[in-house]
Amino acid sequence: MQNRCPCGTGNPYSACCEPIMSGKKDAVTAQELMRSRYTAFTQANVDYLMSSHSVKTRPIKERKSIEQWAKSVSWMGLTILNTQAGEASDEVGYVEFKALYFENGKPQQIHEKSLFQREKGKWVYVSGAHF
Ligand SMILES: [Zn+2]
């Protein structure tokens, strides 16, 4: 019985986000990187959240507060709503998603369209627009 990945693919964690987060495998698509970043949020893995963030927009100063916030909420699931480009042959991609969580016992959601691009050949998160 293997643990399913928190990102919601239904695949085992060890064959989904874990190899991407540990650096054994690069995310092939922007969506795979997006999923691995959601999983990192569920684990408050701020090292990975920083390393998968564009060096141009990486929020180094907010590192501690991101970690504390990620630990303080209960992550309930990720839904990918839409993707544009971000495939294996692309340099840029967009992923629109909803992430559900409970904060102080209240259900909350992030609905965001995120921009990803490649840096040194690897997908990274650049920025997001909230709905
Ligand atoms: Zn996953």
The mean pLDDT of the chain is 97
Q: Can you give the residue range of the structural domain that contains 59?
A: 13-130
In a domain, 7, yes or no: no
How many structural domains is the chain composed of?
1
- Phi and psi at 93, nearest 5°, equal -155, 155
What distance in angstroms lies between residue 14's CA and the mean position of ligand 1's atoms?
A: 9
What distance in angstroms lies between residue 40's CA and the mean position of ligand 1's atoms?
A: 10
In a domain, 3, yes or no: no
Task: Tell me the chain's radius of gyration from C-alpha atoms.
Answer: 14
What distance in angstroms lies between residue 15's CA and the mean position of ligand 1's atoms?
A: 8
Q: What is the pLDDT of residue 63?
A: 97
pTM given for the model? 0.96
What distance in angstroms lies between residue 12's CA and the mean position of ligand 1's atoms?
A: 8
Nearest to 41 by CA among 10, 75, 64: 75
In a domain, 2, yes or no: no
Q: What is the pLDDT of residue 75?
A: 96
Q: CATH number, domain at 98?
A: 3.10.450.50
What distance in angstroms lies between residue 20's CA and the mean position of ligand 1's atoms?
A: 9
pLDDT in tens, 78-98: 999 999 999 999 999 999 999
- Phi and psi at 82, nearest 5°, equal -165, 150
What distance in angstroms lies between residue 48's CA and the mean position of ligand 1's atoms?
A: 14
